[in-house]
Amino acid sequence: MTHNLLCTVCGEKCSLLDVVDFNKSCEEIRGKFLDLSGIPIYYALCNKCGFCFSPEIITWDLEEFKEKIYNDQYVFVDPDYIETRPESNAASLITIFGDRAHSIKHLDYGGGSGVLANNLRKSNWNSISYDPFVDKKTIDQLGKFDLITAFEVFEHVPDVQELMSNLCTLLSTNGVVLFSTLLSDGQINPNQRIVWWYASPRNGHISLFSRKSLEILAHNHGFYFGSFSQGFHFFCTKIPSWADHIIKPV
């Protein structure tokens, strides 16, 4: 494992922080523990922006992710991803936007099998799903969208700059990106072991964001970044009328 690591968010030098077993999963917060795999997974930390990532796993190709993480056993480390989470998120979006959403185009980025978008279409949303790990379409074939959602996606992304480039390509002028990922502030710190449940390689949680790292990403791509909570955030350039009831000028 090389020590000459550069942060994929801000480009500054990083240092190795800790090593965990590959089978560390998010189900540990529910008291469920997998047997140790014996495979060490290192995490590196940027001391400038606080971005934390796995230098090895971010280099994997798509087939490695499918073989080692997003395989038939994945449901055991994230049982909510199939229906519970997307159905809950769809219901929340309907509550948040109501009839305002009927005039916009929506993309659920990283939407897996498309449950969230399917549920929204039943409520007359113009909604589609796209997942780079599943779909064969290219970004350029999708078009532009007023609203892009990315629920529990950012922490899975191996190339954060590619993610931001994709979002910029897909987002219409004055569109909004709503996304969920837990902030690492207070959870991951220099010179401390990683005990945070969210840092779980078996779930594919390989990119862990501090608030500062998200602010830098937003700034570098022409967005304003804001948060509704520690886990729910947005990017935008200008607040559209259909979202002015939830996003306020700063």
**Which residue ranges make up each domain of the chain?**
5-243
Q: What is the rounded distance in angstroms from the CA atom of residue 67 to the CA atom of residue 71?
A: 6
Residue 19 has phi, psi (to 5 degrees) of -130, 135
Nearest to 106 by CA among 244, 219, 239, 242: 242
- This prediction has a pTM of 0.96
123-132 own/partner pairs: CB under 8 Å, 24+ apart: 123/94, 125/94, 125/101, 126/102, 132/166
Statement: 5-243 belongs to CATH 3.40.30.10: no
pLDDT tens, position by position, 199-218: 999 999 999 999 999 999 99
Q: Is 1 exposed, middle or buried (0-12, 13-18, 19+ CB in 10 A)?
A: exposed
Q: What is the rounded distance in angstroms from the CA atom of residue 216 to the CA atom of residue 9?
A: 7
Burial 54-84 (b: 16+ CB within 10 A, else e): bbbbeebeeeebeebbbeeebeebbeebeee
| Tokens matching residue 75 | 């449901």
pLDDT tens, position by position, 164-182: 999 999 999 999 999 999 9
The partner residues of 42 in beta bridges, in order of sequence, read 19
What integer pLDDT is reported at residue 169 of this predicted model? 96
**Along the 250 residues of the chain, how does pLDDT read in single tens digits?**
455 799 999 999 999 999 999 999 999 999 999 999 999 999 999 999 999 999 999 999 999 999 999 999 999 999 999 999 999 999 999 999 999 998 999 999 999 999 999 999 999 999 999 998 888 888 889 999 999 999 999 999 999 999 999 999 999 999 999 999 999 999 999 999 999 999 999 999 999 999 999 999 999 999 999 999 999 999 999 999 999 999 987 6
Q: What is the rounded distance in angstroms from the CA atom of residue 21 to the CA atom of residue 37?
A: 7
DSSP 133: T
State the Rg of the chain over Cα.
18
Nearest to 139 by CA among 171, 111, 101, 112: 171
Separation in Å, CA 170 to CA 10, 22, 149, 153: 23, 33, 11, 16
What integer pLDDT is reported at residue 133 of this predicted model? 86
64-69 own/partner pairs: CB under 8 Å, 24+ apart: 65/133, 65/158, 65/204, 66/133, 69/201, 69/202, 69/203, 69/204
Q: What is the rounded distance in angstroms from the CA atom of residue 90 to the CA atom of residue 111?
A: 11
What integer pLDDT is reported at residue 250 of this predicted model? 62
